[in-house]
Chain A
Amino acid sequence: MRQLEASIPDGPVARLAGAIAAGALLAAICLPARRLARRQEARDSFPFSHYPMFSAPRKDTVGLVHMLGRREDGSSTPLHHGYLGPGGLNQVRRQIRRRVREGDGQLLAERAATELARRDRPEDRDVRRVDVVRARYSYPAFLAGSRTPLRIRVAGSAPVPGREER
């Protein structure tokens, strides 16, 4: 059987075009690495990123904005980030941190309470109120089993519609 070439005809023009396209792609991938030299945290991009994951320096404590579902007996439980929006844990975590910083904590609590009532998930049926909190936790204490934050501030609080507190 006769051997054929690629569907793109080979020749100097094809070779030059291929080299330019490959070079441009690799340059676009490598150029964001320039951001690593900056002292301040540089904003990441896509699809040409500087891949800062797992590189940020960490302390023994961490600040976190999250939700607590308050039950009638006074106990509380962390609520799933999905009540505050789509996109996955880390996307929602960053969004709510920004929104709370901008003063929208109460709005987020009301929205999450409405969503919680609408979804009516069995594991959250005893939740009467949603608090959006800014809390600071100690890693060593957390990994030793303590869920008690070092400090906590309620940024917004809303009753779950249809589950009025008595």
Chain B
Amino acid sequence: MSLLPVAGAALPGLLRLATGAYVLQHAARRRRMHRRLHRSDAAAFAPVGPVRVLRRPLPPRAADALFDASLVSGALMTAGVAHRVVGPIHAALLTWVYAYRNSFSMVYHHENPFVLHTMVLGLAPAADALSVDALRRDGTLLPPRRSWMYGATPLLMNAVSGATYAISGAAKLAAAGPAWAGGEHMRSQVAADALRKEMLGERETRLGRALYPYPQVFAVLAAGSLVLELAAPLAVLDHRCARAIAVGAYGMHVGIRLVMGITFPYQLSGVMFLPMLLSPARR
């Protein structure tokens, strides 16, 4: 059995199209928010990741320009234009733009996976099919190319997703030990979230409030999500494991949305789990 499954060029091509289109619409819809953030109070600036090279925020026009450049590079990468150059440039720009966006006192963890997936796709030969490059090079969108590199691309994306979930699970164990699976942490988190939402002018979820009197429900939800997070790296072992983890993780994010009112847009769009669902079998 081969460690890296051989696949056709269409597989990473499809992942590039789906992830690229998702990121493009995600960013474009939030352009106004980013521009306002670039003009917000410098006192809130707490740089993270690569942005730590800055001591104070960029001039707003420079931050706007970098954001807009990431939209352009995102459109080019999604279309598969000069991928060997555009892919790494877009991955670097996107990493900077989202590290900068998360440098104002709060890190939004729903943005890590699409930045990390873009890094993988930007460096992989992900535009050998379903791309302008393929049309130019081979005269067709679906050239008859097969390689271990195409199979390795979703595998690495799954390893990235699995690692981030496993660290999330480890964080819960580090904070409370196995007792986290008892559900009391999750229950109080639901209460804290409902309170914050209401007192900061947003709508809370009715389901979270309705379930609050039933600790046993939270015990089931907490134990299930902890097991799922810690088991997520198994997605790299086998395509059937990957599909099971994808279905479970998607269900977990639907649950978080319904009970806590917290939306993980990339995860809930389903695009994050495409590499797991489309993982090729090893032969």
Q: Which of B46, B149, B156, B198 contacts A25 (CB 8 A)?
A: B156
Contact between A142 and B48 (Cβ–Cβ < 8 Å)? no
**A12 contacts the other chain (CB 8 A):** no
Give residues 195-223 of B contacting A (CB, 8 Å). 195-202, 209, 212
B145 interface residue per 8 A CB criterion: yes
Residues of B close to A67: CB separation below 8 A? 201
Q: Which residues of B contact A26 (CB under 8 A)?
A: 159-160, 163
Q: A81-B202, A139-B188 are in contact. Are A8 and B149 (CB under 8 A)?
A: yes
Contact of A45 with B40 at beta-carbon distance under 8 Å, contacts A8-B149, A32-B167, A139-B195 already known: no
Contact with A87, one of B49, B104, B115, B198 (Cβ below 8 angstroms): B104
Chain B residues lying within 8 Å of A2, measured Cβ to Cβ, are 144
With A and B bound together, what is the CA distance between A3 and B9 in angstroms? 11
Name the residue on B nearest A59 (C-beta). Answer: B188
Chain A contact-residue range equals 35 or more
A93 CA to B175 CA in the complex, in Å? 22
A48 CA to B52 CA, complexed, in Å: 13
Question: Chain A, 88-104, contact with B by CB distance < 8 Å: what is the 0/1 string?
Answer: 11111111001100101
Contact assessment for A142 and B195 in the assembled complex, using a CB-CB cutoff below 8 Å? yes
In the complex, the answer to whether A88 meets B171 with C-beta atoms within 8 Å is no
> Does A150 reach chain B (CB closer than 8 Å)?
no
Given A25-B160, A90-B106, A4 and B144 contact (CB-CB distance below 8 Å): yes
Q: Is the CB of B107 within 8 A of A95?
A: no
Q: Bound complex: CA of A89 vs CA of B133, how far in Å?
A: 42
Within 8 A of B (CB), among A57-108: 57-58, 60, 62, 64, 66-67, 78-82, 85-95, 98-99, 102, 104
**Tally of A-B Cβ pairs under 8 angstroms:** 213
B68 at the interface (CB under 8 A from A): no
Contacting residue for A47 out of B98, B138, B147, CB 8 A: B98
**Residues A58 and B192 in contact, CB atoms below 8 Å apart:** yes
Contacting B176 at CB < 8 Å: which of A8, A55, A91? A55
Q: How far is the CA of A67 from the CA of B196 in the complex (A)?
A: 11
Size of interface on B: residues with Cβ below 8 Å to A: 76
**A42-B61 Cα distance, complex, nearest whole Å:** 32
Q: Is the pair A88, B108 in contact by a Cβ cutoff of 8 Å?
A: yes
Distance (whole angstroms) from the CB of A8 to the closest CB of chain B: 5
Query: With contacts A6-B9, A52-B171, A143-B212 known, is A62 near B202, CB below 8 A?
Result: no
Please tell me which stretch of B18-26, B71-79, B118-126, B242-250 contacts chain A, meaning at least 4 of its Cβ atoms lie within 8 angstroms of it. Answer: B118-126
Measured between alpha carbons, how far is A53 from B225 in the docked complex, in Å? 13
Supposing A6-B150, A10-B147, A57-B185 touch, asked if A62 and B195 sit within 8 A by C-beta, the answer is: yes
* Interface of B toward A, CB cutoff 8 Å: 9, 33, 36-37, 40-41, 43-44, 46, 48-49, 84, 95, 98-99, 101-109, 111-112, 115-116, 119-120, 123, 125, 128, 133, 137-138, 143-150, 152, 156, 159-160, 163-164, 167-168, 170-172, 174-176, 180, 185-186, 188-189, 191-192, 194-202, 209, 212
- Listed in ascending order, the chain A residues whose CB lies under 8 Å from chain B are 1-8, 10, 14, 18, 21-22, 25-26, 29-30, 32-33, 36-37, 43-58, 60, 62, 64, 66-67, 78-82, 85-95, 98-99, 102, 104, 135, 137, 139-140, 142-143, 147
Known contacts A51-B109, A64-B195, then 7 further A-B pairs from the complex at CB < 8 Å, ordered by chain A residue: A7-B128, A51-B167, A81-B200, A99-B41, A142-B194, A143-B191, A147-B198
